[in-house]
């Protein structure tokens, strides 16, 4: 893909801002516009991004649109708005990176496909640290040739790019990952609570369990902030709650008893700490 193609980036939050920076670093022309907070737009302009006056202009001036928005609700209200749809032409490509539902992804794709727009369903994993370092994992659903065509763009933001199936499969595998991640997070907090009670040092816990059958990414990567009771996001608890809800809804009929239980815990903690890091679920068990 041609490096000088113009990319319009929608969703300049904890993930989108560092991802957009990496696109600029890799030589892409980046179009941005302000939604509510203009700080990320100013930051990106300093690095060479072009500010457009509206999302409609952003789409009109871009060959490729990348979106990474909070939830299905914003996917629908932005990507299926008249403002955006009116600017779509059959040469354009959408790389949709929100952790949304498979159903919403399919809905967006159907409408875009009808207009000749090619779409990739490409959510990510790796957190804000991965977004900053450009080491994200992309779970790409869609046409394999389109994945290949868009690979250089995704490689500016990610280390690993997996083709996981058709449109909807990216969102599906991301929801499965989040089901595990949400459970592993509360499990790691419980492990720490017990270690603190039994006076086991955290470094020993990390080293020994980290090399034993109880190891998990969450235990390895989140235990230090749990020890410090540092719940600055990161990845907001409300977003994790949304992800577990997608998994539970997709399974249907109470088919995921553990995930359903954990979802209730995230819902409870969200009342007070929804905008804090999802590790704040640890408050349920840590003293």
Give the active site residues. Answer: 174
Looking at 11-19, 108-116, 159-167, 189-197, which segment touches ligand NDP (CB under 6 A)? Answer: 11-19
Choose between 84 and 147: whose C-beta lies nearer to ligand NDP. 84
Which parts of 124-163 interact with ligand NDP (CB under 6 A)? 124-125, 127-128
β-pair partners for 64:
7, 93
Which parts of 49-108 interact with ligand NDP (CB under 6 A)? 68-70, 74, 77-78, 98-99
- Output the CA torsion sign for 145, 138, 163, 76: negative
C-beta of residue 201 within 8 angstroms of C-beta of residue 129: no
CA nearest 137: which of 166, 106, 101, 174? 174
Task: Answer yes or no whether residue 245 interacts with ligand NDP by CB under 6 A.
Answer: no
C-beta of residue 105 within 8 angstroms of C-beta of residue 167: yes
Sorted by sequence, the CB contacts under 8 Å of residue 43 that are 6+ apart come out as 17, 21
Task: Answer yes or no whether residue 36 interacts with ligand NDP by CB under 6 A.
Answer: yes
CA distance 179 to 248: 8
- The residue whose Cβ lies closest to ligand NDP is 13
CB of 172 to ligand NDP, least distance (A): 14
Task: Answer yes or no whether residue 170 interacts with ligand NDP by CB under 6 A.
Answer: no
Position among 7, 8, 9, 10 found at the interface with ligand NDP (CB under 6 A): 10
Task: Answer yes or no whether residue 192 interacts with ligand NDP by CB under 6 A.
Answer: no
C-beta of residue 100 within 8 angstroms of C-beta of residue 239: no
What phi, psi does 9 have (nearest 5°)? -110, 120
Task: Answer yes or no whether residue 230 interacts with ligand NDP by CB under 6 A.
Answer: no
Q: Which two tokens stand for residue 265?
A: 């815990």
| Contact set with ligand NDP (CB under 6 A) | 10-16, 35-37, 68-70, 74, 77-78, 98-99, 124-125, 127-128, 234-235, 239
């Amino acid at each position: 893909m041609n490096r000088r193609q113009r990319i319009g980036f929608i969703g300049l939050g904890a993930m989108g801002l560092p991802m957009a920076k990496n696109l600029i670093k890799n030589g892409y022309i980046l179009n941005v516009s302000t939604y509510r907070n203009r700080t990320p737009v100013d930051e990106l302009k300093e690095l060479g991004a072009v500010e457009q006056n509206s999302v409609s202009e952003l789409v009109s001036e871009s060959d490729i649109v990348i979106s990474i928005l909070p939830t299905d609700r914003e996917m629908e209200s932005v990507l299926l708005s008249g403002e955006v749809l009116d600017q779509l032409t059959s040469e354009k490509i959408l790389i949709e990176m929100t952790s949304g539902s498979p159903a919403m992804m399919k809905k967006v794709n159907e409408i875009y496909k009808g207009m000749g727009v090619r779409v990739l369903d490409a959510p990510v994993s790796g957190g804000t640290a991965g977004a900053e370092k450009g080491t994200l994992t992309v779970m790409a659903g869609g046409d394999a040739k389109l994945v290949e065509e868009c690979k250089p763009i995704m490689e500016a933001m990610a280390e690993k790019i997996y083709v996981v199936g058709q449109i909807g499969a990216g969102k599906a595998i991301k929801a499965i990952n989040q089901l595990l991640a949400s459970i592993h997070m509360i499990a790691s907090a419980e492990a720490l609570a017990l270690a603190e009670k039994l006076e086991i040092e955290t470094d020993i816990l990390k080293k020994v369990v980290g090399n034993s059958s109880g190891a998990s990414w969450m235990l390895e990567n989140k235990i230090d902030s749990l020890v410090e009771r540092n719940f600055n996001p990161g990845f907001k608890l409300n977003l994790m709650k949304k992800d577990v809800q997608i998994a539970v809804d997709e399974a249907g009929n109470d088919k995921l008893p553990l995930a359903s239980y954990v979802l209730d815990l995230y819902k409870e903690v969200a009342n007070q700490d929804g905008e804090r890091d999802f590790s704040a679920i640890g408050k349920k068990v840590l003293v």
